[in-house]
Amino acid sequence: MSTDNQPSTYIVDVNESNFEDEVVKKSFTVPVMVDFWAPWCNPCKTLMPIVTKLAEEFGGKFILAKVNVDDNQPLAGKYNARSVPTVKIFRNGEVVDEFMGAQPEGNVRKVLGNHIESESDKLRAKAGELVKQGNVDEAVTLLQQANQEDPDNPGVRMDLIGALFAKGDYESVEQAVAALPVNEREAPEIKELENRLLFVKAAADAPLADELMTLIEKDPNDSASRYRLAARMVVDGETESALGELLNLMMRDREYGDDGARKGMLAILESIQDPAVAGTWRRKMASVIL
């Protein structure tokens, strides 16, 4: 902890002459929290010990810059600090967050948490590089470690599920998805992953596409082979061909896989970005249902 005789390197008094260097330029390296305060302000006296404590505790992960508005009216006006205390977070030269009035320590921590890179975020970034390099097993290990150390980081959870999918550990993917909070379970990227998992599992032990086509030519009513062929097409990125096979299956065998063809089409259509293409196939599907 700092003392009066040994000022903290993480806390600085700023004014118009040093604001550019101490706030704007430093914010390209770490977040800078600027506290606009005044000596006569009682809420300032409540907030200042909190932000000072956090600056020391975080040990340089952010800088606390204090602006006495009585002595720096033009600076306060420039950044629209009309009341005190006003706190603004600078990152990469710009204000990225702010709050006014005295806040409980928990609230201040939450604001800081949105802008300070955590150890779990560092592990997450490293894991992302490993995935790009094809080292999926190492990435999964790092993300599992990050998830244990920081279970409240949703980005880690999402990346772990993606890495498990890339590894082919589909059972673990399903377990991880099932354990997600409801709001994260409904995220578009999770829905898309679940839809893709449906087809990946169906294609996992299926014959090659050419073999499946041969089986279907011999027996056009071979529902299992047609569904597996559609699944292989989805995995290979042949989305519209897969939709065609599933539509054919709907017309021939609505009972297969508990209406699996219709469910499969809906799963594919959820991930199609082109509204015109999706609309065309929805109309085709509707005509079969009717």
DSSP per position, 27-69 = GGTS-EEEEEE-TT-HHHHHHHHHHHHHHHHHTTSSEEEEEET
Q: What tokens does 169 get?
A: 């550990």
- For 63, residues 6+ apart whose C-beta sits below 8 A from its C-beta are 10, 11, 12, 22, 23, 26, 30, 31, 32, 33, 55
| Residues assigned a catalytic role | 41, 44
Phi and psi at 44, nearest 5°, equal -65, -35
> In sequence order, what are the residues at sequence separation of 6 or more whose Cβ sits closer than 8 angstroms to the Cβ of residue 225?
212, 215, 216, 219
Closest CA to 243 of 273, 271, 264: 264
